[in-house]
Amino acid sequence: MVAVYFLSALAIALMMLSFKQLSFTRGLMVLFIIIQWLFNGYVLLHAGETELSYFTYDPAGILFLGLLTLVSTAAVIQGFPYFTDRTNKRFSFYYAALTGLITAITGAYLANDITLVWILVEATTLTASVLIYSERTRHALEATWKYIFICSTGIALAYMGILFLSLSVKGSGMHGLSFDGLAAVAHKLDPVYLKIAFIFVLTGYSTKMELFPMHTVGIDANSVALPPVGALISTGLVNLGFLSIFRIYKALSDSPIFGWMNKVMILAGVLSVLVAAGYMLKAKHTKRMLAYSTLENMGLVAIAIGIGGIGYYAAFLLLVLHALTKSSLFFQVGQMGRVIGTFRLDDSGLYLKLFPTGAIALLIGTLAILAIPPSGLFVSEFLIIKALVAGKGWFVLILVLILLCCVLYAMSTRVLHLLFSLPRDRDDIVAAGTAGKWETISQFVFLLIVVGACFYQPPFLKDIINQIIAGLPNL
């Protein structure tokens, strides 16, 4: 079935590029989303099985694939209003690249081989770059080249890490470079090679996870890409970057460098939150503000993994709820941009007056992403704080709490300005466009799930997260 899925996606993308008709292309995109749901269901029904030797339907792949399918469906629907000109044929490239990006991420989630993950991650760079350039502006071109260059550099660094892993397993009797195979021999491998490999892998895949030190690529990409694309980059691709790092981390958890890896993860996480807080305080662009928020949340995820214990559960819960919340915010900011006519904060304001339904969604989404109760993210961040207290990480705890206060202040004041205040450079504001109330449905549904998670986390979610983190040492 995995081969059928890939071939179907390829055929659909080729038809989109061949028959450049808007209604036909949209129909093909809907067909692909239906195939995505059917494949998602198939993977769920065949959990634990391996197909074509390189794709295993494990709990981590199932969890993130479900999130990707959900967010992708909303992203496709949210993207329809951006392409109404039937004479402009760029929509065919957009939808073909979107199909390719979702397919590549899906394959990478399910891949059980380190090299295959690397190949599919590179495929996401190529397809995402087409989507980033979809507006065809000078800023979009600049951001696209930056994305290609920095991501390619990151992929090269990740490849260096894979080479060092290959050197470390030489003579161990391991054939191939699967995650399970690496985990089986990790305890007897040279720690020097493993440390070098992990640093390269972490640095390389941080381009996708939007984690320090290669976080800048995601900031620029989200600033110019269409909001539905930004939603996918900040959720599906970010989760892919995390999973690529986490699988290596888990495979090496029985090696002599486990404690050292935790320190590296905590350091990368703290620096990510620090950078996010600093840039958030001077953010002047709504989509960049959301990108800095992603950096902050991924920093918390890295800290949670590094501290271990209940932090493992908190990290995955945060990733799930962040995907739903951040995608909702990107969708809503896209609608706000169409209504107000700009993404610049100084030129925006009175959104509650211009589009009340969207303003309410933006306010709820902001409260949710800032982990203010009753947001489910409050639970995940509380568990991270609990893990830091249990691990006696007092310095990290105090520093992170101070930085989170800065993020809370910076983002809340900017959103309140968008909702209630006059633009700084104008005496009044008039709607530059319109957005349909129906477009907010997916946002309210996602945010309802996030709020509900504050009070109740369904057993299937707890079970799948516990299956993912099973076997990791308790610190």
Top-confidence residue, 414 or 475: 414
- 179-188 average pLDDT score: 89
Using 50, 70 and 90 to split pLDDT, how confident is the model at 356?
very high
Q: Is 342 part of a structural domain of the chain?
A: yes
Q: Is the pLDDT of residue 290 over 60?
A: yes
pLDDT of 432 reads: 66
* 3-state helix/strand/coil string of 420-453: HCCCCCCCCCCCCCCCCHHHHHHHHHHHHHHHHC
Q: Is the pLDDT of residue 337 over 70?
A: yes
Q: What does the alpha-carbon distance between residue 242 and residue 206 come to, in Å, rounded to a whole number?
A: 8
Using 50, 70 and 90 to split pLDDT, how confident is the model at 175?
confident
- Cα angle value 429/439/352 (rounded, 5°): 30
3-state secondary structure of 285: strand
**Mean pLDDT over all residues of the chain?**
91
Q: Is 316 part of a structural domain of the chain?
A: yes
Query: What residue numbers bound the domain in which 386 lies?
Result: 281-475
CB 296 within 8 A of CB 312: no
- 286-315 average pLDDT score: 94
Q: Is the pLDDT of residue 173 over 80?
A: no
pLDDT of 124 reads: 94
Using 50, 70 and 90 to split pLDDT, how confident is the model at 159?
very high
- 338-355 average pLDDT score: 87
Q: Is the pLDDT of residue 218 over 80?
A: yes
- 88-114 average pLDDT score: 91
Q: How far is CA 244 from the centre of its chain?
A: 12
Instruction: Give the contacts of 170 (CB within 8 A, at least 6 positions apart).
Output: none
- 123-137 average pLDDT score: 89
Terminal Cα distance for the chain, rounded? 40
Q: What are the backbone dihedrals phi and psi of residue 55, each rounded to the nearest 5 degrees, phi first?
A: -125, 115
Q: Which of 39-48, 198-207, 304-313, 423-432 has the lowest average pLDDT?
A: 423-432
Q: Is 469 part of a structural domain of the chain?
A: yes
- 68-77 average pLDDT score: 95
Using 50, 70 and 90 to split pLDDT, how confident is the model at 140?
confident
Q: Is the pLDDT of residue 87 over 80?
A: no
Residue of 391, 339, 328 whose CA lies nearest to 363: 328
Percent of residues, the chain, with pLDDT higher than 70: 97
Both tokens assigned to 308: 């271990």
Q: Is the pLDDT of residue 86 over 60?
A: no
pLDDT of 427 reads: 63
pLDDT of 89 reads: 65
Q: What does the alpha-carbon distance between residue 30 and residue 382 come to, in Å, rounded to a whole number?
A: 39
Using 50, 70 and 90 to split pLDDT, how confident is the model at 250?
very high
Q: Is the pLDDT of residue 31 over 60?
A: yes
pLDDT of 223 reads: 85
Q: Is 86 part of a structural domain of the chain?
A: no
3-state secondary structure of 3: helix
pLDDT of 209 reads: 92
Q: Which amino acid type is present at position 56?
A: T
pLDDT of 426 reads: 67
Instruction: Give the contacts of 5 (CB within 8 A, at least 6 positions apart).
Output: 35, 39, 103, 106
Element of type H or E holding 51: strand 50-51
- Cα torsion 126, 131, 137, 138: sign: negative
Q: Is 425 part of a structural domain of the chain?
A: yes
Q: Is the pLDDT of residue 44 over 70?
A: yes
Q: Which of 152-156, 390-394, 432-436 has the lowest average pLDDT?
A: 432-436
Q: Is 127 part of a structural domain of the chain?
A: no
Q: What does the alpha-carbon distance between residue 37 and residue 208 come to, in Å, rounded to a whole number?
A: 24
pLDDT of 92 reads: 87
Q: What does the alpha-carbon distance between residue 83 and residue 94 come to, in Å, rounded to a whole number?
A: 10
Q: Is the pLDDT of residue 475 over 70?
A: no
Using 50, 70 and 90 to split pLDDT, how confident is the model at 465?
very high
- 304-326 average pLDDT score: 95
- 210-214 average pLDDT score: 88
Q: Which of 10-14, 362-366, 430-434 has the lowest average pLDDT?
A: 430-434
Q: Is the pLDDT of residue 418 over 60?
A: yes
pTM of the model: 0.94
Percent of residues, the chain, with pLDDT higher than 90: 71
Q: Is 381 part of a structural domain of the chain?
A: yes
Using 50, 70 and 90 to split pLDDT, how confident is the model at 22?
confident
Q: Is 156 part of a structural domain of the chain?
A: no
- 115-132 average pLDDT score: 93
- 225-240 average pLDDT score: 93
Q: Which of 174-183, 252-261, 272-281, 300-309 has the lowest average pLDDT?
A: 174-183
Q: Is the pLDDT of residue 266 over 90?
A: yes
Q: Is the pLDDT of residue 396 over 80?
A: yes
Question: What DSSP character marks residue 226?
Answer: -
Query: What's the structural domain count of the chain?
Result: 1
